[in-house]
Structure 1
């Protein structure tokens, strides 16, 4: 068998790297594959700027706790491409194995016959082929970029659509206003299909409501039809069916209440699934989603951190993501005050200043590191941006060196260190740390 990394590298090299939002190429390859998108299990389609992956993780954890077989499609991956495709199995879904993935990719490449197609499109087609080959009760399908013209938006009759928090990101593809971005996300709404909407700005919500009205898609809006709020160390979920007192989500941060609430609201409006309350409770406490306020308590990099320090990892990379993480860190600081050090690597197409501004007054220092991507923002520029907004900054050549620099600061008490700014950096960190991608719950 050809190694999966070799196949993926060939696809990356042969096909256009530039994103070109269109469904024409998808329809062509799916037609040659005899339309696997028509043979999928019932689909829950999830779009949004921030929180898509966490919401999908909550949905999977709850559904599997209820005994359902669940396929999952997410992107990007952190360490291995196989993370993007989970196949339903008794006892819980598993990452697709290399031999099945290579076979599906080879089939798609052969039938595409060298026609133009992007890497995301051909790998999405391969995922649909795999999902169609294996039985499952539900497919959780995460949008890659935008929604209206995303490669996943060939599913014409999902059982529910979900839009998580909408904010600024990918301006070059989706537009430079919240209204334009929200319109792209709302492109996944389907006629008559219930749509569950996370709490939104009024600008985004107005656009989504107009799209839903035109399609007569029933809406369940966070803050209006349902809510998820903290109550000491627990979570209270309210909707038209009543009040649920639940354990706090295992994923840490106030923003995860909205993501958990979005997942619960989704499942409670799909009556055919009949999710017991006990499965919701179990899902909230067992959910795993790496690089989202993940505590790195063990591993090679953790051992390089200053003695007694806390080491955290989050893949946030836009201003709203930065605000969510900054709020989570502020909550941690109220429980246990420590100086905060940020180790930051970002891509050049992200709003680095907008992101770092959320940590002004909270971070003691920024240590900038490179990200191994062609489109990475030079670490020297991150230093300049941090200093402009009043955060002392320096740059290092690696995360390991950055941890050594944090040690040399001699902070007392030992610092809280957050590695952040990019999911690509998060993947590098998890690989370098040398442990399985597990979530360590807050202690």
Structure 2
């Protein structure tokens, strides 16, 4: 009998995950299965007792893009919360950004809902779906929704029950066929940068990606985007006209924000902050009926400075291990990994300035890396190494051409006994890949190819995150150096390190 606990809710939710074979079948379909996504999602919405028009009460800011949409969502929510402290904000963060706990995807006034609330709302939706499985108008609709659809349905329910004044809704995948794309009339829609690296990862042209992302445009609703590649911009303009958006605006440059110390580190965050400012400005004008000052208000700046998002260009001093500093960035595309290295290889972050290079406090630098099976590890690592060397030359540190003393390639499996933390469980990786460490072996081979002189004994291929943490501790035990460890390539990897290393109290 179900205990109706948070853990029980997580186990029920994990039962809805698609396995690796199913995901491969979807990819092999060439996207044809996506055509049923919105009709099926609407059928599930009806089964839990809501109509699409009721979702308009959520006052949605809908955000998509291939990079930066999580940061933009975080900036936007913080701006609105600090501008209107009497309002209640709701935010659904993409499940792909979940690092340590599923409940952090659901935020009220910037704070994750509690485990007890998660369990309560989860089973309210679960029970409605189980009780109402009669065949509907769409014959392809499975009896229960998949993992990501369920999360979206639950978010709608939570935010309606709590009567939020503003909902920041982050697209999970794509746009047109995403499970979040059933709100008839959001207040404003936004598109972050359309990264060229996704063209290769997804096997689509930039125009096809833009068509998908532009699918969130709605009739009579303003749309805002950052500058895009020419072909992508043409498609977005066409989609805005096709879907009858009230207007499509491109955000201007803003030198004022470039000088502001944003709450999220990295120079690449400036563009995300500019988009967030314009989304918040449009939203507040519509909701209050008051024209916004073209000068950025102090409340907006406060929101940008106080924005927090764990696992993005984040420095964490280990509270329990003396001489350990962790650098956490869930970058998982070629472009975001380039941004990660631009952040880390910096005198203010992972590399001391030249004058301090020979100080008495030496550092041992370690890279812990993983990426999703099927992506090109060589291109990922190649871009990281190239950016690292350029940054070292910029800071007159060419002698440190290979910055890391050790590199560790491990799976996203949380514990040494082969188990995942329940919130981080994934069925999307084939068992054979995990057992044989295929991805990790390929990464190690790629690293050796890219840096032929690198000592093989300093390249570690390990089966779990717990193994990786123990290896870092072993390296520290052989030296008195301060250990600086960069963790990147996967948000699940970052979340697992936070969990196993016991960093939750300071990192989250």
Q: Normalised by the size of structure 2, how large is the TM-score? A: 0.74
Counterpart of 1:83? 104
Contact 1:29–1:111 under 8 Å retained in 2: no
Which range moved further: 52-61 or 333-342? 333-342
1:238-277 matches, within 5 Å, as 247-270=260-283, 271-273=285-287, 277=297
Counterpart of 1:106? 126
Residues 401, 126 of structure 1: CA spacing in aligned structure 2 closer, same or farther, 3 A cutoff? same
Counterpart of 1:227? 253
Contact 2:129–2:144 under 8 Å retained in 1: no
1:395 to 460, 483, 505: 460
Shift of 1:25: 2.0
SS in structure 2 at match of 1:227:
coil
Structure-1 separation of matches of 2:449 and 2:146: 38
1:62 to 79, 101, 108: 79
**2:492 counterpart of 1:431:** no
Counterpart of 2:136? none
SS in structure 1 at match of 2:298:
helix
1:418 to 486, 490, 493: 486
Residues 168, 310 of structure 1: CA spacing in aligned structure 2 closer, same or farther, 3 A cutoff? same
**2:351 counterpart of 1:351:** no
Structure-2 separation of matches of 1:213 and 1:326: 39
Counterpart of 2:408? 367
Shift of 1:246: 6.3
Contact 2:318–2:325 under 8 Å retained in 1: no
Structure-2 separation of matches of 1:112 and 1:124: 18
Contact 2:187–2:286 under 8 Å retained in 1: no
1:281 to 296, 301, 309: 301
Residues 405, 348 of structure 1: CA spacing in aligned structure 2 closer, same or farther, 3 A cutoff? farther
SS in structure 2 at match of 1:23:
helix
Shift of 1:329: 2.3
2:4 to 2, 13, 20: 2
More relative contact order in 1 or in 2 (CA 8 Å, sep 6+)?
2
Structure-2 separation of matches of 1:140 and 1:158: 10
Residues 358, 197 of structure 1: CA spacing in aligned structure 2 closer, same or farther, 3 A cutoff? same
Structure-1 separation of matches of 2:230 and 2:59: 31
Structure-2 separation of matches of 1:402 and 1:181: 40
**2:329 counterpart of 1:314:** yes
**2:52 counterpart of 1:33:** no
Contact 1:318–1:352 under 8 Å retained in 2: no
Shift of 1:345: 1.5
Map Cα deviations across residues 210-256 of structure 1 (whole Å, 9 max, x no partner): 2123334312213xxx1244xxxxxx14xxxxxxx863202110111
Q: Counting helix residues as a fraction of each chain, which structure ranks higher?
A: 2
Which range moved further: 283-292 or 343-352? 343-352
Structure 2, unpaired ranges of 5+: 24-32, 134-141, 355-362, 389-401, 414-425
Shift of 1:333: 6.1
Contact 2:188–2:221 under 8 Å retained in 1: yes
Residues 403, 99 of structure 1: CA spacing in aligned structure 2 closer, same or farther, 3 A cutoff? same
Q: Normalised by the size of structure 1, how large is the TM-score? A: 0.84
2:439 to 350, 367, 378: 378
Structure-1 separation of matches of 2:491 and 2:80: 26
Residues 172, 131 of structure 1: CA spacing in aligned structure 2 closer, same or farther, 3 A cutoff? farther
Contact 2:78–2:307 under 8 Å retained in 1: yes
Contact 2:441–2:461 under 8 Å retained in 1: no
Counterpart of 2:314? 294
Shift of 1:106: 2.3
Which range moved further: 74-83 or 193-202? 193-202
Structure-2 separation of matches of 1:199 and 1:403: 42
Map Cα deviations across residues 328-374 of structure 1 (whole Å, 9 max, x no partner): 22344677367754210222033322221222142523321221255
Structure 1, unpaired ranges of 5+: 230-235, 238-244
Structure-2 separation of matches of 1:313 and 1:172: 25
**2:176 counterpart of 1:161:** no
Contact 2:103–2:112 under 8 Å retained in 1: no
Map Cα deviations across residues 103-131 of structure 1 (whole Å, 9 max, x no partner): 33323432453715211112211221121
Shift of 1:171: 6.8
Residues 288, 111 of structure 1: CA spacing in aligned structure 2 closer, same or farther, 3 A cutoff? farther
Aligned-residue RMSD, C-alpha: 3.0
Which range moved further: 391-400 or 263-272? 391-400
SS in structure 2 at match of 1:348:
coil
Counterpart of 1:205? 233
Q: Alignment length, in residue pairs?
A: 415
Residues 12, 173 of structure 1: CA spacing in aligned structure 2 closer, same or farther, 3 A cutoff? farther
Contact 2:16–2:146 under 8 Å retained in 1: no
Structure-1 separation of matches of 2:199 and 2:253: 30
Residues 293, 168 of structure 1: CA spacing in aligned structure 2 closer, same or farther, 3 A cutoff? same
SS in structure 1 at match of 2:94:
coil
Residues 209, 324 of structure 1: CA spacing in aligned structure 2 closer, same or farther, 3 A cutoff? farther
